[in-house]
Amino acid sequence: MTVAVGVDVGTTGARGVAVDEAGEVVATATSNYELRTPRPLWTEQDPQDWWRGVEVVLGRLAGELDSRIVGLGLTGQMHGSVFLDSAGEVDQRTGKQCSEISDRVGAERLARWPPRWGCDRGSRWRREAATMPRLPSGPPSSTTAS
């Protein structure tokens, strides 16, 4: 038997499902991770938690299946952008762009915008990246924004 596997990298956990050729669900798995709120109106996560969550889900599915996996589909969180530096670490220098957009548009109006607003934040970041200070090399001491 062959199966297709779908994995959702959600806000609070990763979820996976394996479906056979007839469309029947033959296995499911979940893995939770932390959603940190260090202060009011501030939410953050470590992208490594997402990666570990997917690894756990795929490992659990593989342990339940004696089938050949022929396809993998992925979905993820909406409205999220994670910028990485040249070392592949989280680059937290987009705070200025996020604040500028929120200030100019207003939080209530911004909350109603479609998902494409994250792309605008990314393009603003790329335009200004050349003038931003470089991050130190080596692993960061923390992925928590200050």
Q: Is the pTM of the predicted complex or chain greater than 0.85?
A: no
* Residues 54 and 32 sit within 8 Å (Cβ to Cβ): no
Domain that holds residue 130: 80-135
In a domain? residue 142: no
Domain check: are 69 and 107 in the same one? no
Domain check: are 14 and 71 in the same one? yes
CA distances to 39, 63, 66, 79, 92 from 95, rounded to whole Å, are: 16, 41, 47, 15, 7
Determine the 3-state secondary structure of 17 from DSSP: strand
Read off the pLDDT of residues 91-121 as tens digits, 9 standing for 90 and up.
666 677 777 877 887 777 766 665 444 445 5
Determine the 3-state secondary structure of 73 from DSSP: strand
| Cβ-based neighbour number of residue 44 at 10 Å | 14
Domain check: are 72 and 87 in the same one? no
